[in-house]
A and B are shown apart, each in its own frame.
Chain A
Amino acid sequence: MAKRDLLAHPIEWVKGKGSNSNIAVSSRIRLARNLSDFPFTHRCDHEKLYAIVDKVKQVILDSDLLKDSDVVEMDALDSLSRWVLVEKHLISPPFAGDGPGRVVIVDSKGVISIMVNEEDHLRIQVILSGLELNEVWRIAKKVEMTFEKLDYAFDSDFGYLTACPTNVGTGMRASVMVHIPALEMSKQIATLINECNRIGLTVRGTYGEGSDVLGSLYQISNQITLGLGEEELIDKVASAVRQIVTEEERARAVMKRKLDSSLDDRLWRAFGVMRYCRNISTREALELISLIKMGSDMEITPKLSVEDWNNLVLGVQPNHVQLYAGKELTPDERDVYRAAFLRERLKCIEPK
């Protein structure tokens, strides 16, 4: 339960085991649930928040699925550790802020994470690598049923009740992170966003609501949570992602067929910059990592496995850089350590 343990915790989605994980990086499902006998989190006093935490802890002790999990109070973590968890996608950005009664539960494999007293009492999250939404849903439902004895707030008209009406019904957000640099380069993102919106899907940046798009990583998720069943919503996201993967592959094939010296140069230059840079921002680092991954997938630059790529993407994030340095850093210092991290990691990927 010590914070170091949680930061060194294995994270399953990073391993790149799922299907299509070179483009569909990870699949995630989040379920929002509330206990019927309590006000929503933002209207709970200290005592009620901890009463909820106690109930949840009791369920975990009795659960075969979750009994080996880490249960960590957010207040016991320093700010750096909290933001490392955000970067790993184990908790949401708002959850990293201050406030009493917030607890995160992470299972031993790093597949399941449960936020207690986020906007809703329970935010159950399951992430796997690749396009694996059906498996993710199966696990999420299992976890959700473990807590059912706490008596979920449910209404036959409105479904699972949530603090915000945008989550009511299934309380489910299914999202897939996709890496689509070729669609970006061929200026197809606006069309993609329009098409997704038309069928009720949202396209967002790497860290969800309001976050920036970095390193050509986009999140595709269902916009609505009410009026359709979970499987129908999942199906919608999954079939859109399958199509996006096909389009990205097609765009890459076209690029490779008429590979001009400027793209060839751009991919190799990314490799060179990463190898010799001495000061680099998060944004630039993620752009370069995206390029060398695309170059690797297209068999132009040296092979970069999905796991190594995911670790690079995580490693250059501001809080992971500080973790790497072993101390808190100013933004300028971070850029220096980030460059050192990249140089060190790239040593093991040798050009042919």
Chain B
Amino acid sequence: MMCERCQEREAEVHIKQIINGEVKEYHLCRECAETMGLEGIDLFPHFNFDLSWENLLGSLFEPFAAKELRRPVRTEIKCQGCGLDYSTFQKTGKFGCPKCYESFRDYIKPLLRKIHGADRHRGSKPELSYIEKDATGDELEQLKKELKEAVEKEEYERAAKIRDRIRELTSKGDGSDGKA
């Protein structure tokens, strides 16, 4: 059996969890199980679940997290800004620098939905307008990429949503490029 988290290595750790009568099973490789903060793995079946905040946060990660997260997260994914790798973030629950958010963007969206029930900021913004302009440009690029991906995967419902968002963004400008 393959590890359900990385889909790469043989699953060696099998966890059966019963919470309020609901049975959940996890099959993980040793490495993934360790990254998830299940320290004291050798002590099974009484493994030390240290309920510190970091581990609680860790529990929000795969495979407890949403399906779309279940692509391999390899330790070589590093922040371009500070070099922090994703597994260190998973362990500590803290980012290294502001650029970590950009570097791990796709991985942290499901995490944010777990914590906040949302993955988009709706509050105030810095008044300095150049930041907003730049960000809209970035978002547009990102959306175009996502749209292409969605169409390729034949996820039309998602594609339609992305298309609407692109229209919304482009119509905010002068409108000249919004009529494609």
Chain A: residues with CB nearer than 8 A to chain B?
A: 34, 36, 38-40, 42-43, 119, 141, 145, 148, 151-166, 168-170, 172, 200, 224-230, 233
Contact = CB atoms under 8 A, between A and B. Distances in A.
Contacts of B117: 200, 224, 227
Q: Nearest 6 A-B pairs (CB), nearest first?
A: A227-B118, A159-B121, A156-B135, A153-B98, A226-B116, A170-B123
Nearest to B92: A42
B118 A164 contact: no
B97 A157 contact: no
Interface in B107-162: 108, 111-112, 115-128, 131-132, 135-136, 138-139
B94 interface: yes
A126 to B, nearest CB: 15
Contacts, number: 116
A159 B135 contact: no
A227 B102 contact: no
A43 B95 CA distance: 9
Given A156-B121, A165-B93, A145 B127 contact: yes
B90 to A, nearest CB: 11
A112 to B, nearest CB: 18
B111 to A, nearest CB: 6
Interface string B80-104: 0110100000000111111001100
Interface of B: 57, 81-82, 84, 93-98, 101-102, 105, 108, 111-112, 115-128, 131-132, 135-136, 138-139
Given A164-B95, A170-B123, A226-B116, 16 more contacts: A42-B94, A148-B128, A154-B135, A155-B102, A156-B132, A164-B93, A164-B94, A165-B93, A166-B57, A168-B101, A170-B121, A170-B124, A226-B115, A226-B118, A226-B121, A227-B118
B126 A34 contact: no
Contact of B121 (A151, A157, A200): A157
- Majority SS at the chain B contact face: loop
Given A43-B97, A164-B93, A164-B94, A224 B116 contact: yes
A162 to B, nearest CB: 8
B37 to A, nearest CB: 15
Given A155-B102, A165-B108, A165-B115, A227 B122 contact: yes
A170 B115 CA distance: 14
Contacts of B124: 141, 170, 229-230
Contacts of A172: 123
Given A161-B98, A225-B116, A226-B118, A152 B93 contact: no
Contacts of A229: 122-124
B115 A224 contact: yes
Nearest to B138: A156
Contacts of B122: 169, 227-229
A224 B115 CA distance: 7
A227 B120 contact: yes
21 contacts: A34-B98, A38-B97, A39-B96, A40-B96, A40-B98, A141-B124, A153-B98, A154-B125, A156-B139, A157-B119, A157-B139, A159-B121, A160-B121, A163-B94, A165-B57, A165-B93, A165-B115, A168-B116, A168-B121, A170-B121, A227-B121
A154 B126 contact: yes
A159 B135 CA distance: 11
B119 A226 contact: yes
Contacts of A233: 123
Contacts of B127: 145, 148
Contact of B95 (A38, A145, A163): A163
